[in-house]
Structure 1
Amino acid sequence: MKIKVARTSGFCYGVRRAVNLAFEEAIHGDNLYTLGELIHNPQVLEILKQRGVRIAKKIEDIPESATVIIRSHGVTPQAKAALRNRSLKIIDATCPKVARVQQLAERAVRLGMHVILFGDSEHSEVKAIAAHAEGRTSIVKDRKELDAVISTIPTSDKISFMAQTTQNIALWKELVTHLLALRPDAEIYETICGATDERQNEVRRLAREVDALVIVGGFQSANTQRLVEISKNEGIPAFQVETEADLPRKELARFETVGVAAGASTPSWMIRRILHSLDVTVAVKPSFLLFLLEFWRFIVRSNILVAFGAAQLLYAASRLQGIEPELPYQIIVAAYIFAMHLLNHFTDRFTTEINYPARVGFYERFRRLLLTLGIVATASSLVFAYFLGPLAFIIIFAMSLLGLVYRMELFKIGRVGPRRLMDIPGSKDLFLGMAWTVIIALLVVPASGSRFTPATGIAAFFVFSLAFTRSLVYSIRDVQGDRMVGRETVAVLVGESRTRRLGAFVLALSACSMVFSFILGWTSAVSLFLIVNLVYAFIALWLTRSESNYSDVFFETIVEGNLVLSQLAAWFVHLSGLA
């Protein structure tokens, strides 16, 4: 069975905004409620509940002085007024697209028009929009109901036609054409969300390429149900699932090609869990190509690739400083990075389950082997460092100790603020960049008996910029899961767009320093060639804007490939005699 994934899927802007607001408030406050379900996704709601966010079915259920979040679907004007009359902190998470439809409905009523709303009469978004129209609203779901409504509206009354933001775009266009044929003077407002349109078109495209579709999303999610309807209308079997437990494995096994798409209220980590579960389900005949694929998966998921890449980056940083990169230096770096990454995944299982579901089973399967390799790697890095001199040993020992205590509770329970180093906001990205800088760019100086020079500073900043932006790339990719587990990465703190701009600024600053260091004679021509790696890092950072869902192996291969490229660039300059 072959699996094809929709190019666009997962949280839309409005849902992402609402979820972000809820988790940010949950981190910094308490006594937090949502008026109704924030979004239609049970898994996200359950994690919100674990973070202390409760669902209030009625305004009366919210105690005084509490914080209340208005759900993404919006509420009626009456509900908003009732909330304002209470001693409550109000956070309005209404989707801006939904708020626009509410405003259009209010405007139409003020102008004396009759509002016809294409949508589900029982949906909370539709109820709120209708309330903003003060009762001068007719809700229709098909052509038959539209005809019935038009027949009751006098020809002297003007009509304003709009749609629920998650409705079927194809059916909407049919209704618009039909309405204009009957009432050419009707005002038409295109209110279906662009994200909804994209996801529906993507399902139509996939339907032409696959034998069946798996649609991931909450069973109460209107936009997800619409994707199921579209798939069936295209003549393709569709299976809606909320989690991997809902996958009809026996039925799916009958199809050669299966597509996977998701609604706008489905988090990216759930999509990854579904893809991993399908990947495990797929029965593939043994072949040499399959063996190579499995071998590469082991290299990536075991952290051997990132460890190897870090060693290659040390080669480039050493050449940048004019230091001969010795094999022991690379072994120390590879062993340290390998051990620390393993420690990170083994000690933070919850985050791994959310962001990297494929790794959970992998670590269970190879637990004994990986733990043994991790212990050997830690010991090897210390032994090699010992033979390189006392300062090199102290650096490795201190950095290893820091890696061990990073997740340990260092302060008393009653202390206000972070109790662990990992609880410091932004610490993951910043500490990783600094650790890589010390181990890769600075360690080689005392280890080789060299002196610290301006080139050392340039190399240190080059390594920091690559390591820091590499961490930012992963933080942007995992931002939804990190918010849910309470991890305050840079992307969680300042948002994805600002994180990209921050990364781009650091890379640009590093590129400028490389050019000026060459002009000033601090570094050789290798500094100019290594700018390629900074450009590569910028492209990786920019590509996080895409909503595409890649496998963890493919994604990490692309990101870590930049580290390997750094040695190739430095090696080329060295062999060509340019440095």
Structure 2
Amino acid sequence: MRVRLARHAGFCMGVRRAMELALAQAHHGEGPVFTYGPLIHNPQVLELLKSKGIRVLEEIPPEGSVAGGTVIIRAHGVPPQDKARLKRAGFSQIVEGTCPRVIRVQAIIARAAKRGADVVIVGDASHPEVVGLLGHAQGRGLVVSRPGEVAGLPMLKDVVVVAQTTQTGENFAAIVQELISRFGPVEVHETICEATHRRQDEVKSLAQEVDGVVVVGGRNSGNTQRLAQVAALSGKPVFAVETEEELSRAELAHLETVGVTAGASTPNWLIKRVLRELGAIRSEREGGGSYILRRVFRFFVRSQLLVALGAAGMTCAASLLQGLIPHPALAATAFFYIYAMHILNHFLDKEAGQYNDPDRAQFLAKHRAFLIGSGIFSAAAALMLCVMMGPWPFVIVSLISLLGILYSVPVVPPSLKARLKFASLKDIPGSKTVSAAGAWAVVVAVLPAVGFEAWQPAALALAFVYTAVLVFCRCAVFDVLDVQGDLVVGKETIPIMLGEEGTLRLVSWLLAGLALLMLLAPLAGPPTALCLLLLLPIAGLALMQRVLSRGDMLPGALSEALVDFNFWLAGVLALAWWII
């Protein structure tokens, strides 16, 4: 079955911000943490927050009855009177989690009410956002959910119209026309969030191009319900689900292509689980050969064989950059070491993997014994090959292997943990990406120089930097895709430190700098043709960074393979240059 994911599915900016604030308090805050009302409309997310010790405060305690603690205002916002009561209750910190788009609507209403205008809010009267908006209207607010309700309004003179940020544009426009017909000119503020417009327009287009649409989100989520309604207008079958367990495999098997979208309060990991389940459904229109090839390809990528072969290819490229002849033992060492490192690290990092890549997590669980066994065998094989090459290769690979083992082990004494803010190497912000790049560069670039005892500092530095930058950028791009899961488990990755856009800018600058270095490198000795050929993997990785960050391709086995293909490409191009 072919699956197409809407580009703007999942958390909107306001929900993502509220989640980041809540998880930051859970991991680093002091004292009890509460959200005033459900933070967002998604039961799975609320259950996750509960597991992190974040409790829902349904009612405001009496004045002075609370001794400290933190309250996070939900993304929908609350009436200003409630904020004042929370402060009087005794909470030591009130964290503003209201979506900035909602804050803008609150400000419009407050200004209108201050001048004595009547405020009409187009929305659902019982929705938390609308309840919060009414609180800013100073008793001059009215709620209209359908055009037919305008006739029941009292006579109004100075009318200001705003919308609940997740309303449909069609409903808002129809109500505005009814208001103008009855009250004459009115002041209109089209406050529907741009993200809501994009999602609804996108699902309209998507529904025309697929055989059916799956909408993922909480049943209490208004914007998710509206997405399903918009999709249903196409006449195509629509499947509204909260989790992958609710998918009807029998009904979906009749379809060849399925579109997937999700509400603004749906986390990436739920979307990925739905995508995994859909990908496992064999469409009645799919041939047997195609299905088998798809399963073999998935095994090849998920087992880390693809990236390990890429490491072998990179070793050939790094050797030739240093003027060394590619040696099978060096390529095999890189293959075995990188395979072992990636497999074992995925098992050590399985908590985040449950959120970041449910498909891989399921694969690891299913083939646990084989993968761990092959990982241990590969580590031993890499060390044995190093023994055959001499003492220094063995020492180097042993040291980086030891560092890899110690990466997740608490090495900082408890007395220093509070001061340093980390207990193991993996707790250091950005350490995963930096350590992976360093380990690759040592095995791929340094080992050939040590094995051949041919030290050419400039050429070695070029090969080291070429490898390290490509691997760093690879990891950083995947870290951006995995940012929600990393936030959940409290990992301090580079996107969490710099932000997703900041990380992508860093990747772009690094790749541009590496391309410039390869253009200038022939001045120091390396062959011009080889350096120019090795620009292609840089361009390939830059292209994949753009494609994935824009949401033009589903994250998963195919996108991972296309990223890692650039390491294969480096090896193939280098070997072709050497042979020719």
Counterparts of 1:403-414 in structure 2 under 5 Å?
403-412=404-413
Name the counterpart of 1:563: 567
Quick one: distance in 1 between partners of 2:257 and 2:450? 57
SS in 2 for 1:115: strand
> Structure 1 residues 142, 174: closer, same or farther in 2, change over 3 A?
same
Note if contact 1:34-1:54 (Cα within 8 Å) is conserved in structure 2. yes
Give the counterpart letter for 1:545 in structure 2.
S
Note if contact 2:70-2:91 (Cα within 8 Å) is conserved in structure 1. no
Name the counterpart of 2:34: 33
> Structure 1 residues 534, 207: closer, same or farther in 2, change over 3 A?
closer
SS in 2 for 1:258: strand
SS in 2 for 1:208: helix
Mean Cα deviation higher: 486-495 or 562-571: 562-571
- The answer to whether structure 1 residue 423 and structure 2 residue 427 are counterparts is yes
- The answer to whether structure 1 residue 102 and structure 2 residue 106 are counterparts is yes
Name the counterpart of 1:227: 227
Mean Cα deviation higher: 182-191 or 467-476: 182-191
Structure 1 residue 177: Cα displacement: 3.4
In structure 2, which of residues 75, 81, 84 is the aligned counterpart of residue 81 of structure 1?
84
Deviations 1:420-447 (A, max 9, x none): 2212221111111111111111111111
- The answer to whether structure 1 residue 115 and structure 2 residue 116 are counterparts is no
Mean Cα deviation higher: 119-128 or 234-243: 234-243
Quick one: distance in 2 between partners of 1:59 and 1:525? 71
SS in 1 for 2:209: coil
Name the counterpart of 2:60: 59
Deviations 1:385-420 (A, max 9, x none): 111111101111122222222222334556433222
- The answer to whether structure 1 residue 159 and structure 2 residue 163 are counterparts is no
> Structure 1 residues 215, 402: closer, same or farther in 2, change over 3 A?
same
Deviations 1:59-88 (A, max 9, x none): 328833322221111111112223444452
Structure 2, unmatched stretches of 5+, are none
- The answer to whether structure 1 residue 475 and structure 2 residue 479 are counterparts is yes
In structure 2, which of residues 135, 141, 146 is the aligned counterpart of residue 137 of structure 1?
141
Note if contact 1:518-1:528 (Cα within 8 Å) is conserved in structure 2. no
Name the counterpart of 1:293: 294
Counterparts of 1:9-20 in structure 2 under 5 Å?
9-20=9-20
Note if contact 2:553-2:559 (Cα within 8 Å) is conserved in structure 1. no
Structure 1 residue 135: Cα displacement: 1.6
Counterparts of 1:180-329 in structure 2 under 5 Å?
180-283=180-283, 287-329=288-330
Structure 1 residue 544: Cα displacement: 3.8
Note if contact 1:476-1:544 (Cα within 8 Å) is conserved in structure 2. no
Structure 1 residue 292: Cα displacement: 1.9
Deviations 1:517-557 (A, max 9, x none): 32344664423332333233333333343245614111101
Give the counterpart letter for 1:569 in structure 2.
L
Give the counterpart letter for 1:29 in structure 2.
G
> Structure 1 residues 279, 517: closer, same or farther in 2, change over 3 A?
closer
SS in 1 for 2:325: coil
Structure 1 residue 111: Cα displacement: 2.8
Note if contact 1:4-1:257 (Cα within 8 Å) is conserved in structure 2. yes
Quick one: distance in 2 between partners of 1:234 and 1:372? 51
Structure 1 residue 515: Cα displacement: 3.1
- The answer to whether structure 1 residue 462 and structure 2 residue 466 are counterparts is yes
Note if contact 1:15-1:39 (Cα within 8 Å) is conserved in structure 2. yes
Residue identity (%): 39
Structure 1 residue 339: Cα displacement: 0.8
Give the counterpart letter for 1:187 in structure 2.
E
Deviations 1:91-126 (A, max 9, x none): 212111111111111121123221111101011100
Deviations 1:8-57 (A, max 9, x none): 20111111111112222322213222211111112222222222322212
Note if contact 1:333-1:381 (Cα within 8 Å) is conserved in structure 2. yes
In structure 2, which of residues 514, 527, 530 is the aligned counterpart of residue 526 of structure 1?
530
Quick one: distance in 1 between partners of 2:507 and 2:555? 23
Structure 1 residue 494: Cα displacement: 2.0
Note if contact 1:30-1:52 (Cα within 8 Å) is conserved in structure 2. no
Give the counterpart letter for 2:175 in structure 1.
L
SS in 2 for 1:275: helix
Name the counterpart of 1:376: 377
Structure 1 residue 448: Cα displacement: 1.4
Quick one: distance in 2 between partners of 1:383 and 1:305? 22
**Normalising by structure 2, what TM-score?**
0.93
Quick one: distance in 1 between partners of 2:459 and 2:24? 41
Number of matched residues?
572
Note if contact 1:10-1:268 (Cα within 8 Å) is conserved in structure 2. yes
Structure 1 residue 260: Cα displacement: 1.8
Quick one: distance in 2 between partners of 1:11 and 1:437? 36
Note if contact 2:353-2:485 (Cα within 8 Å) is conserved in structure 1. no
Give the counterpart letter for 2:37 in structure 1.
G
Name the counterpart of 1:47: 48
Structure 1 residue 286: Cα displacement: 5.5
Name the counterpart of 1:402: 403
Note if contact 2:481-2:555 (Cα within 8 Å) is conserved in structure 1. no
Quick one: distance in 1 between partners of 2:81 and 2:278? 46
Quick one: distance in 1 between partners of 2:411 and 2:165? 49
- The answer to whether structure 1 residue 538 and structure 2 residue 539 are counterparts is no
> Structure 1 residues 529, 281: closer, same or farther in 2, change over 3 A?
closer
- The answer to whether structure 1 residue 489 and structure 2 residue 493 are counterparts is yes
Note if contact 2:433-2:475 (Cα within 8 Å) is conserved in structure 1. yes
Quick one: distance in 2 between partners of 1:391 and 1:25? 47
Mean Cα deviation higher: 209-218 or 324-333: 209-218
Quick one: distance in 1 between partners of 2:396 and 2:220? 55
Note if contact 2:430-2:494 (Cα within 8 Å) is conserved in structure 1. yes
Note if contact 2:548-2:555 (Cα within 8 Å) is conserved in structure 1. no
> Structure 1 residues 14, 372: closer, same or farther in 2, change over 3 A?
same
